[in-house]
Structure 1
Amino acid sequence: MADIFDQDRIFFPDDPELRVLGSVEKLAQWRHRNQGPAFIRIGRRIGYHGTDLNAYLSERRTKPTGNAA
C-alpha cells in the first residue's frame, strides 16, 4: 500500500491532511478513548508521526472478496 502521509513529518490535528481521518473533534474523541492512530504529546500539543498514521491506515485495509451478497 502506498503511503499517504510523509513518513518524516509530524502532523498536528489542525493540519488539513488529517481530514482524511476525520475532524479535529473526532481525533480528540479517539485519543480520549485510547483509539485511533498513535500520537505524541509535545507539552500541551498533540502530534501524529507520519509513520504511525500510515501504519494505522494499513491496519484498516480491507480487501474485497468478490463475493456479492
Structure 2
Amino acid sequence: MANLFEQNRNYVLGDPELELLGDRTKLAQWRHKGMGPAFYRLGRKIIYRGADLNAWAEANRVDPGAEGRA
C-alpha cells in the first residue's frame, strides 16, 4: 500500500494534507457521528496521526475490479 500521509507525522486541523479527506466541516461531522479516522482530542485541539490516517484510507479503499471475482 502506498501511504497517502507520512506515517510518523501528526496532522492538525488546517494542515492542507487533511483536505484529501475533506474540509474542516466534513471532518467535524465525521467526529460527531463517530465516523472517519481515529483522532486525539487534547482540549480543543484535534490531532490525527499519519499512521491512523493511512490505516483508515486503506480500510476504505475500493477496488472496482475485485467486485465480480470469486
Q: Same-fold call, TM > 0.5?
A: yes
**Aligned counterpart, 1:40:** 40
Q: Which runs of 5+ in 2 are unaligned?
A: none
Q: Distance in 2 between matches of 1:12 and 1:34?
A: 18
Q: Distance in 1 between matches of 2:63 and 2:30?
A: 24
**Aligned counterpart, 1:8:** 8
Q: CA deviation at 1:64?
A: 1.8
TM-score, with length taken from structure 1: 0.89
**Aligned counterpart, 1:61:** 61
* Aligned amino acid, residue 61 of structure 2: R
Q: CA deviation at 1:27?
A: 0.3
Does the residue aligned with 1:41 lie in a helix, a strand or coil? strand
Q: CA deviation at 1:33?
A: 0.5
Q: Which runs of 5+ in 1 are unaligned?
A: none
Q: CA deviation at 1:61?
A: 0.8
Give the share of equivalent positions with the same residue, in percent. Answer: 51
**Aligned counterpart, 2:29:** 29
Q: Distance in 2 between matches of 1:46 and 1:2?
A: 25
* Aligned amino acid, residue 43 of structure 1: G
Q: CA deviation at 1:65?
A: 2.1
